[in-house]
A and B are shown apart, each in its own frame.
Chain A
Amino acid sequence: MGGMRRMAVPLSIVATLAIAMMLFNLKQRVGSLEKELTQVNRDIGDHRETIHVLRSEWSFLNQPARIAEQAKNILGMERIPPKRLIRLEDLPVRVPSDGITQIAGSPQAVPGARVPTIHGGSRP
């Protein structure tokens, strides 16, 4: 009991110093983090602005007229006549690779496979 009392003062001094140091440290870290945050926010702003400019340029480069022209000139693409349009679900099911032997004959041989139709056969 008596020893504790003698130790109390130095202990509290040490504790106070330790806390003070920790606090100081913490404050420093907060300060530098805040600086970093400001910088990061500024960078985010800059990047957003850059993205914004690049998106405008993207829109510019993706003008439908330009895309159509390049698709035609570079890729040799042409307009799809409506006759060639068919729904995805109207495509015949893909035959699994091990099903090749089964299919050999007619498509009806594979359960679930459908005869391909050109004009969207399942339309009501």
Chain B
Amino acid sequence: MNFMAPKNAPEHVHRSPPVARHPGARESLSGNKAAALEIGRTRLLVAGVVFALAFTAIGGRLIDLSLSNGAAPRLAQSQASPHPFTGRADILDRNGVILAANVPTASLYAEPRLIRDPGQVAAALEKILPTVTRAGIQAKLASGRSFVWIKRNLTPREHHEINRLGIPGLNFRREVQRVYPNGNLAAHVIGFTNVDTEGLAGIERSFNDVLKDSAAPVRLSLDVRVQHILTQELAATMKEFDAIAATGVVLDVRSGETLAMSSLPDFDPGRAGTASSNARFNRASLGLYEMGSVFKIFTTAQTLDSGTVTLNDGYDTRKPIRVGRFAITDFKPKNRWLSVPEIFIYSSNIGAALMARDAGTTAQKAFLSELGLTRAPGIELSEVSPPLLPSPWRDINTLTISYGHGIAVSPIQVASAVGAVVNGGEMIPTTLLKRGAGDPVSGRRVISESTSRTMRDLMRLVVRQGTGRKAAAENFLVGGKTGTSDKLVNGRYARNKRLASFVGAFPMNDPRYVILIMVDEPKGTKKTYNYATGGWVAAPAVRNVVERIAPILGVMPAAEGFETESSEHLLIKTKASAQQAKAQRIAAN
């Protein structure tokens, strides 16, 4: 078929209708005309089909767009982020309470070139803005520059008042301000930012990039209620004993979450610039302390777990241990042979040192390392210190470390390590971030299940009968260990400057929470017969905190008489067997 139609083809096509009206007339046409007609029809058909298809497609699409609702929600959903973008994400506590947020504010700036009477403007501004001086503003306004800040982040009231003045040349710029609605609470954990909202400390610093890049908030493991109670009790203890500082932590021993971390004195993160470096110092993670007898928890756990000693063993604690010019003595000497549980409960330095000596330096070092006490705490803060370890780690160090001297660690590490001792024997990484309900918790076994059970019993005994009796919170089954250590001042241990601490867990039948409180330089009072030891200072604070936080955390008091002889048998049995062992020794000699 010839598609290259002859020039006169349209004519034929035009004429074709009359032809078509007479059927059979086609035969009369010459072959040439018939072919042209055929071409025309074919073209018409092709074009028609193409158009029909196109219209069908368009029609179909129209129907699709107008009838199906698929497109509309897609459009609406495009902006459905639930968090407003403020330039920096919020920091929340575990229950969603805002700890830090960016809120829009107005900042006042001036264009001095547009201001005719700087003196008058300065006078007007001085009345509204309490923090600026007239002379200061006047100098700024007279500078002849094109832009000067007068005051950033005005309060809504100041903004309104200045707006009402209607002075040309004074303008506002919308800015965002980092606010900390809970004030001083958890200031050391949250940290703070500079005026350009760049994180300088705490979570604000360690999560700076995350907070800047995403609108989704960072959810911490802290609980503001627990944090508040801990801080309040610390402050009360500090006041009562005229201490210079105090710190405390509450950890969940199963998940490793930090429920509270407090360090006093503290500061307002919104005004961090005016805070002293002493107040900004996070004693819980950055401070390094010789924790004293609290370390006997680790010494006892290690020697029991390795089989170096058993609960039936004991040591003669009558004579101080002399190594070179050092002498290891007991604070309250019992002057007799003590069983292993007694050494722990009455906190005998001599006994602990002898236990550690029998276990050896290598074993002690390895065990403390497994508990994470030989490196910086692994929490999500940049304010952490690696511990001060003896170098080289001699045998004399092993003896003193057994009762917490000659090694300086941060309180948070000690709390984590105690958590591992009581939670069944697994070291769980401590975190400041909230764990999801289904997040797997991966622990590393450090002591056996049964050693952990024994340690719980021993720690419970300390509170029932030993040095920690004042930590006995009513029916909450607190167990723990006291610690009192003299502070090093100019390389010597000062007798009158000490750290009083208590680290405990509750409820001791199935520990959920570890709590550590440490008070720096407490002074004894009349009420405490001038004692300022861990048992007199920190233990009562722990009791107060436990009694207040346990109901919040859903820990119910045990039924009256719930605790029977469950842990006392340790002492009774060992006393009996100790006497037996002693008799055997005498017989052997």
Contact = CB atoms under 8 A, between A and B. Distances in A.
Nearest to B562: A123
Contacts of A58: 98
B160 to A, nearest CB: 16
A62 B560 CA distance: 35
B181 A85 contact: no
A81 to B, nearest CB: 7
Nearest to A55: B98
| Majority secondary structure of chain A interface residues (helix, strand, loop or mixed) | helix
A74 B252 CA distance: 34
A64 interface: yes
Contacts of A59: 97-99, 101, 181-182
A56 B103 CA distance: 8
Interface string B232-255: 100000000000000000000000
26 contacts: A44-B79, A45-B84, A49-B104, A52-B84, A52-B101, A55-B101, A56-B101, A57-B181, A58-B98, A59-B182, A60-B182, A63-B183, A64-B185, A65-B185, A65-B228, A79-B548, A82-B473, A82-B474, A82-B547, A82-B551, A82-B557, A85-B557, A119-B557, A119-B560, A120-B558, A123-B559
B172 interface: no
B382 to A, nearest CB: 25
B232 A65 contact: yes
**In the complex, which of the residues A41, A62, A64, A83 has the most CB atoms of chain B within 10 Å of its own CB atom?**
A64
Contacts of B289: none
A48 interface: yes
Contacts, number: 90
**In the complex, which of the residues A41, A56, A59, A63 has the most CB atoms of chain B within 10 Å of its own CB atom?**
A59
A65 B62 CA distance: 62
Interface string B547-583: 1101100001111101000000000000000000000
Contact of B181 (A51, A63, A119): A63
Interface size class of A (residues with CB under 8 A): 20 to 34
Interface string B174-203: 000001011101000000000000000000
A65 B183 CA distance: 10
B181 A60 contact: yes
A123 B98 contact: no
B103 A53 contact: yes
B104 A53 contact: yes
B76 interface: yes
Interface size class of B (residues with CB under 8 A): 35 or more
Given A26-B66, A53-B104, A83-B474, A62 B97 contact: yes
A41 B182 CA distance: 31
B34 to A, nearest CB: 22
Given A82-B474, A85-B557, A123-B556, A49 B181 contact: no
B33 interface: no
Contacts of B97: 59, 62
Contacts of A37: 75-76
A87 interface: yes
Interface in B512-565: 547-548, 550-551, 556-560, 562
Interface in B59-82: 62, 66, 75-76, 79, 82
A4 interface: no
Interface of B: 62, 66, 75-76, 79, 82-84, 86, 90, 97-99, 101, 103-104, 179, 181-183, 185, 224-225, 227-229, 232, 473-476, 547-548, 550-551, 556-560, 562
A59 B95 CA distance: 11
Interface string A85-102: 101000000000000000
Contacts of A9: none
Contact of B556 (A48, A81, A85): A85
9 interchain residue pairs of minimum CB distance: A64-B228, A60-B181, A59-B181, A59-B98, A123-B559, A48-B84, A82-B474, A56-B101, A82-B557
Contacts of A119: 475, 557, 559-560
A48 B82 contact: yes
A84 B82 CA distance: 42
Contacts of B229: 64
B225 A64 contact: yes
A62 B97 CA distance: 9
A80 interface: yes
B192 to A, nearest CB: 16
Given A48-B84, A63-B185, A80 B98 contact: no
Nearest to B21: A2
A37 B86 CA distance: 22
Contacts of A45: 79, 84
Nearest to A49: B84
A6 B548 CA distance: 94
Contacts of B562: 123
A123 B558 contact: yes
A25 to B, nearest CB: 11
A87 B75 CA distance: 50
A41 B79 contact: yes
Contacts of B560: 119
Contacts of B225: 64
